[in-house]
Every structure is written in C-alpha cells, then in structure tokens.
Amino acid sequence: MIDRSPSPDADPLTASTLSRSWPSLSPDDRLHSFLRLPREEADDFFQSLPSADQGALLSALPRSDRKIAIRLLAPDDVADLLLTVPPAEQLSLLSLLDEPTRREVSALLAYAEDAAGGLMSPWFARVRPEATVDEAISYLKRQATGQLETLYYGYVLDAEQRLRGVLSLRQLMTTPGDRRVSDVMTTDVVAVNEDVDQEEVARLFAEHDLVAIPVVDGEGRMKGIVTADDIVDVVEEEATEDIQKLGGMQALDAPYLRTPLLRMLGKRAGWLSALFVGELLTATAMGHYEDEIARAVVLALFVPLIISSGGNSGSQATTLVIRAMSLGEVRLADFWRVTRRELASGLALGGILGALGFARVLLWEKLFGVYGPHHALIALTVAISLVGVVTWGTLAGALLPFLLRALRFDPASASAPFVATIVDVSGLVIYFSVAELLLRGLLL
C-alpha cells in the first residue's frame, strides 16, 4: 500500500469522492488529494486509474512509494503503464520490480501495443492433461493463492506448454474426481495468435461471449490470456479513435484535457487544411457556372439545399459501412452487395427528398409567388438534382471505405467531412447540368 499519511487536520477524503473530481484536477492537486486518501483505499484507487494517470502519479511519488505502488499491478497492467511514460523513465520503473515480474513485463513490451500479445496477462491457471479431476482442483487451489489474472478456466497444457484444451470450474466441480482431465476437457478452444490485432480479439469476445481468450505462439504454446476487462478498454479506445477520425482529424493519443494545445492543433490542422483545399474546388465549380447563375439567380437559392443533402447522405452511408467493417459484418468481398444495397437506398432517399423539394418550390410559389412562370421546371430541376446528388453521395460514402481498406488504409479515414467535400463539388456539377438540360432556352 502507498506509505503516505494525510495531515491530521486535513478533511477526510474518500476514493469515490476523488474519483468524481479526478478528471478536472491538476497534476499537483491529484498528488495532494491522492496522499490524503486513507491507506486502505489508496491501493484500490491506484489500481482503478487509467494507465496514463497511473504513470503520471508514479512519477510524482518518492521512490519507496513508487516501488510499493507498481508492485500492486499485474504484469500486463505494468506494461500498459510503462508505455505512457518517457523511455528513460521506463528503465527506472522496471528496476522497481522483482526479477520474475520484470522478465514478464519485458516480454510483454516486446509485442506491439495493439496486438494480442501486448494485451495478455501471463498469469493464468494451468492444468496437466494426465491429472485427475481431484488433482486438478487441488492444483488450482494452490495456484489461486498466488497471482492469477482470473480463475474462470483452467488451461490444459502438455509438457511443451502447448494448449490442448480448457476446463471451466463448473466442469471440474460436476465431474467425478477420478476422471482424467484429458477425458473431460474441451478441445475446441477459441484461441488467438500473439500477433493478432486487438480489434480481431474484441470481435472474438463479442462473437463467442467469452470472459477470457488464451493467446498462443506460432507453435501452439500458450503465452497468456486476454480477459474481458482488457477488451473493454480496447473497445473504448478503438471506438474513440474511429469517432475522432470520422470527425475529420487524426486520432488523439491521450485524453482530450491532457493533450497539449500544439499537439491538438497538429492533429486537427492537417485534415482541416486538406478539407479546405477540397472545398476550394466548390468555389471553382461555382465559378464555372457563373454565367448560368447570373442569368437565373433563383438557381443559387437551392445550392446549399442540394449539396448539403448529398453530404448528409454520404455521411450516413460512410458511418454505417465503417461501423459494419469494424464489427466484421462487412468485408471486401461484400463490395457488390453493399453497392447494390446503397444504390437502392440512395435512389429511395433521393426520391423522398426530391419529392419534398418539389413540393416546397410549388408551395412557396403559391404562397409568395417568388419563382416566376417557370416554377414547375425549377421544382423539377431541384427534385431530379436531389435524386442524383443523394444517390451519388450515398454511393461515394459507402464505397470509399472499401477503396481505403483495399489500399490498406484505415477505413475510418473516409471521414464524414471528407465525403461531404467530395459530394459538394460533384453535387454542383449534377445540379447545374440538370438545370442546363431542363431550363435551356427559358432561364438559361
């Protein structure tokens, strides 16, 4: 436990109170408040903190307290913590661990941060296949008194540490004690290779409703387990990254309030500049149709309506497809299925908006007489343009993630603002092309 005692005249502070105020506190206030916690609550509170906060807090503590605090954590949690501190400080913190734990943490740090090996804990319950059920229960009891990540399953390993099967505690408790583990174990085990990406691990958890997944190397030797609580963090991290990319920026690598302003600007300025350059093409397209707008100013009134409808439909489609890809519901092989589906959706949605636009022009003409004698053709122009622009926007938004995935880029990079920029330019071309076709010789 953290060896710090609060001042005798300090107001009492509980972990739950500190947890609520923690995000808004400065680093100095966090340290001061943490040291005021009762000793029996300090350990639990420290273990509940995100890795980045644990690292920052450790850096502020004296060496003796750091040693006690870091040894509260499992090896996988220590590895996560070390990734949040500067490299020079990693060696200092590693030196605080006992030799076996230091070796385990160093092995975990050798894996990519977003791979199964980087998520796993090397503390898991082992069972020998030749043991009886009674022997297995006795052995698991001895292991449980040590350090285990979880005790929902016993993993059956042979002499070479290869994964042969798995036993749940329920199986052990309901099986006659003289039966061999090899006779009652489940051999159809859902396992992942140590290099598998964390998104695939999360998908397997959701698909099979598991609480832990064993991690094996290329030869089938078991290296550790990934537990459900680790995957909760992964899901939150991946969802946050995708949402930030969908917003038209690079994903942040730290919490919002802890990201330095200059780094925040760097994450946002690049994409924003690219989108701005793209939008300049909209001005170019408007300039191309300058004569048409001068002859029929009424057409300019509907430009925001047309291009925003296309951008909105594209944003919807790209969000749906990217999410489906993240969940494994859609793969590259589904390209034509998605194309047909979104083409039908685009035409239907465009038809709905086109009918609304057509009715709006006719209604305003009847009420205010603002569109002149050719109002019916203007209404038809708006309606047809909306069908075309919404259909094109839907297709562009749905298919751009496929293109990025085929090029081995993150589909989330097909952000909604990026799709909207593409559709803005093409939407103007569609709109004025329809207008030129229908209104030539009348308004144009």
Local confidence band at 152 (pLDDT 50, 70, 90 cut-offs): confident
Predicted local confidence at residue 2, as pLDDT: 46
Q: Which range among 50-59, 121-130, 179-188, 255-264 shows the weakest confidence by mean pLDDT? A: 255-264
pLDDT tens profile 167-206: 988 888 899 999 999 999 999 999 999 999 988 898 898 8
Instruction: Count the helix, strand and coil residues of the chain and give each as a percent rounded to the nearest 5.
Output: 65, 10, 25
Within 8 A by CB and 6+ apart from 53, the residues are 22, 30
Q: Indicate if 181 and 97 belong to the same structural domain.
A: no
What are the Cα distances from residue 303, in Å, to 7, 143, 298, 389, 427?
Answer: 67, 70, 10, 11, 9
Q: Indicate if 219 and 267 belong to the same structural domain.
A: no
Predicted local confidence at residue 10, as pLDDT: 52
> pLDDT exceeding 90 applies to what percent of the chain?
48
Q: Indicate if 262 and 166 belong to the same structural domain.
A: no
* Arithmetic mean of pLDDT over the chain: 88
Q: Which domain holds residue 336?
A: 256-439
Q: Indicate if 266 and 337 belong to the same structural domain.
A: yes
Which region holds residue 114: left if phi is over 0, alpha if psi is between -120 and 50, else beta?
A: alpha
Query: For residue 404, is pLDDT > 80?
Result: yes
Q: Is residue 305 part of a domain?
A: yes
pLDDT tens profile 101-113: 999 999 999 898 8
CATH number, domain containing residue 100:
1.25.60.10
CA 173, chain centre distance (Å): 39
Q: Is residue 6 part of a domain?
A: no
Q: Is residue 418 part of a domain?
A: yes
Predicted local confidence at residue 191, as pLDDT: 95
Cα separation of 263 and 249, whole Å? 12
Cα separation of 16 and 18, whole Å? 5
What is the C-alpha end-to-end distance of the chain, expressed in Å? 81
What are the Cα distances from residue 55, in Å, to 114, 151, 424?
Answer: 19, 28, 46
> pLDDT exceeding 70 applies to what percent of the chain?
95
Q: Is residue 87 part of a domain?
A: yes
Q: Indicate if 218 and 349 belong to the same structural domain.
A: no
Cα separation of 278 and 290, whole Å? 19
pLDDT tens profile 338-389: 999 999 999 999 999 999 999 999 999 999 988 889 899 999 999 999 999 9
Q: Indicate if 65 and 140 belong to the same structural domain.
A: no
CATH number, domain containing residue 189:
3.10.580.10
Q: Indicate if 55 and 150 belong to the same structural domain.
A: no
pLDDT tens profile 296-319: 889 999 999 999 999 999 999 998
**Which residues share a beta bridge with 216?**
193, 222
CB-hemisphere CA count at 13 Å for 355?
5
Cα separation of 209 and 152, whole Å? 13
Query: For residue 3, is pLDDT > 50?
Result: no
Instruction: Output phi, psi for 275, to 5 deg.
Output: -65, -35
Q: Is residue 403 part of a domain?
A: yes
Segment 264-290 mean pLDDT:
81
Domain boundary among 67, 82, 110: 110
pLDDT tens profile 422-436: 888 899 999 999 999
Q: Indicate if 222 and 314 belong to the same structural domain.
A: no
Give the pTM. 0.70
Q: Is residue 424 part of a domain?
A: yes
Using DSSP bridges, classify how beta strands 222-227 and 212-216 pair: parallel, antiparallel or unpaired.
antiparallel
Local confidence band at 11 (pLDDT 50, 70, 90 cut-offs): low
Predicted local confidence at residue 140, as pLDDT: 87
Using DSSP bridges, classify how beta strands 192-193 and 163-168 pair: parallel, antiparallel or unpaired.
unpaired
Q: Indicate if 294 and 182 belong to the same structural domain.
A: no
Cα separation of 155 and 391, whole Å? 53
Q: pLDDT higher for 399 or 39?
A: 399
Domain boundary among 71, 86, 110: 110
CATH number, domain containing residue 276:
1.10.357.20
Q: Indicate if 217 and 359 belong to the same structural domain.
A: no
Cα separation of 138 and 172, whole Å? 11
User: Where do we find the tokens 């969940």?
Assistant: 327
Number of separate domains in the chain: 3
